[in-house]
Structure 1
């Protein structure tokens, strides 16, 4: 995306946000978006086409009185497997470019899994739940958020995963109904056999 807003005093800072956290458990870790260095990304076998050099997200202005508190929280949450960088943020509305802090994922992050088969990834997301809710909520909310940022901000890979999730969900509901119908049919047959025995 473009990274943005007007710079304030030196005591405040801007943070570039592009995702969320806590959408899984250690047994079934969820999947969230992570920014990585281009040089490292180019060494990976990717399963979806590269659409743009822009990364879309939101710039958050951290007031001077909250800077220490926010930085301590972020350093605890993000420092394991992430490195701090500063990058220009270009607001979609054409406002002046601002300098934002951003956390970039590193290859030594234990939670980084790299590219994955899209269908297997969708199935994993479908069943992962964490402290902040189901991983599917994260994905579907991310799809909506990206679509609403700008006419250019939609992400084909995120949209593909969201479509796969909706298909899995649709099939699961059909399977649940079919299983319920089979259970009812089995119950009716069992009752019928019992009735016949009692009648005999």
Structure 2
């Protein structure tokens, strides 16, 4: 990566990165990208589920491809996906990329996309984003919303309960902007809240691997979805 690229390294978070920032950022800007749909159609075998019982986490799907799928939910937000852009301190870009490459190892790949800040006075940015592409083995295709809610409610992985991930994401999106509502997320949250919480007394999942990204950074949970 050139010095210019390191100085202008922006990362877009549309999942857990909204409320759990990456290390070594010095700017955080709410906003959105266009041309994608956010869906809980990615399996999670390493953080919010297990290989024997995968959970569900979000990925982005190109709107043109999503329109070919049999999704029972309308996309009320058009082709906008709200999230947060983080500017990474230039001297720390390599460390953060290595951290994210491990965090996103289970089915996600690097893409670049224009980012539009919520504040119209700010310029658009070019952001790196991790996306579970349709050809990755964890992409499940169009799923029934109630089946997704049932799986999220029941699933548990090394990073915690799958329902916690969903409810954190719903709250984080509500706090971004008056325009950042995502009906897919809100609908799943309503369905999960209507279900009885599972009995975890007999369940045990190993703690997630921890790693340091620098000598001064606290150990970060390597969480699945950005």
Residues 69 and 142 in structure 2, CA contact (< 8 A), matched pair in contact too: yes
Which protein is richer in helix relative to its size?
A: 1
TM-score normalised by L of structure 1: 0.75
RMSD of aligned C-alpha atoms? 2.2
1:10 aligns with 2:35: no
Query: Residues 87-133 of structure 1, C-alpha deviation per residue, up to 9 Å, x if partnerless?
Result: 12111122221111112221221111122111111111001011111
SS of structure 2 residue aligned to 1:50: coil
SS of structure 2 residue aligned to 1:56: strand
Distance 1:128 1:162 in 2: 14
| Higher Rg | 1
Distance 1:25 1:138 in 2: 15
- Structure 2 runs not aligned, ≥5 long: 17-43, 200-226
- Structure 1 runs not aligned, ≥5 long: 1-7, 174-200
User: In structure 2, what is the equivalent of residue 36 of structure 1?
Assistant: 61
Single out whichever of 16-25 and 159-168 deviates more from structure 2: 16-25
Single out whichever of 118-127 and 88-97 deviates more from structure 2: 88-97
The number of residues matched between the two structures is 165
TM-score normalised by L of structure 2: 0.67
Query: Residues 22-58 of structure 1, C-alpha deviation per residue, up to 9 Å, x if partnerless?
Result: 2111112111110122332222111200112111011
2:94 pairs with 58, 61, 68, which one? 68
Single out whichever of 132-141 and 67-76 deviates more from structure 2: 67-76
- Compute the displacement of 1:79 (Å): 5.5
Distance 1:56 1:64 in 2: 25
Distance 2:196 2:106 in 1: 33
Distance 1:39 1:75 in 2: 27
Distance 1:112 1:59 in 2: 24
Query: Residues 131-151 of structure 1, C-alpha deviation per residue, up to 9 Å, x if partnerless?
Result: 111000011111111111111
1:25 pairs with 50, 67, 71, which one? 50
Stretches (4+) displaced over 4 A: none
SS of structure 2 residue aligned to 1:58: strand
Distance 2:139 2:5 in 1: 33
When residues 105 and 160 of structure 1 are mapped into structure 2, their CA distance, relative to the original with a 3 A threshold, is: same
Which protein is richer in strand relative to its size?
A: 2
